[in-house]
Copies of this chain bind each other. A is one copy, B any other.
């Protein structure tokens, strides 16, 4: 028996909406401790890693580990049927072949149930999430991040992220001109934190970063971590020890461009 309850369905909806366009069918791996999803996008360039700790839910029960194979697009459709402040319950029977969603309106007037068929999905080889010690990290406003990526994408297909001294520079160039946006720590904005161990400069696809930036609805901040020869990590935390949504993206190599 698997059961998980969230007081506000919108929390779960925002998570699903943040990666539904990147991946198709995935396994929700449920254990006594957490629910995790690992999946690569169709082109095998980006990796999604979702981790929701048991504490993320208002009630959580998972008698034995189970992999629930689901189509993310279908879950997104179901989640659109919840009002933002509905209570939500996820349920699956042991050895059942359905995942059940129950939405309850605050006033108890409306009670909705949706069942989606579980899919048999080949578990990918356990993906190696690199446990790198990163050369550069920046935490800043997720809405600034989202706007920055949208702006850059107006001018080109790739963005170069450069960490040096105490600032992070995003730059883009195209036929019509070039632009750069520099983020630095400042006393007025306490959320912005930049840590640079060694200067580094890498180039990434804006198409993927635009996808990742949908995670900006999940919270106030985003964290970017970079190292030479490692994928960029873009992380949207859910709160202390509650889990996070992580995206990994391989840098562009010179000859790619």
Contacts and interface: CB of A to CB of B under 8 A. Distances in A.
Given A98-B177, A108-B188, A112-B181, 19 more contacts: A77-B155, A81-B151, A107-B186, A107-B188, A107-B189, A108-B184, A108-B186, A109-B140, A109-B184, A109-B192, A110-B183, A112-B151, A112-B179, A113-B179, A113-B180, A113-B181, A115-B178, A115-B179, A116-B176
A32 interface: no
Interface in A86-144: 98, 107-117, 140, 144
Given A114-B177, A176-B74, A177-B117, A189 B109 contact: yes
A179 B116 CA distance: 9
Contacts of A71: 176
A33 interface: no
16 contacts: A74-B176, A77-B176, A78-B179, A80-B154, A81-B154, A83-B147, A107-B186, A107-B189, A108-B186, A109-B140, A110-B144, A111-B184, A112-B151, A112-B182, A115-B179, A116-B177
Interface of A: 71, 74, 77-78, 80-81, 83, 98, 107-117, 140, 144, 147-148, 151, 154-155, 176-186, 188-189, 192
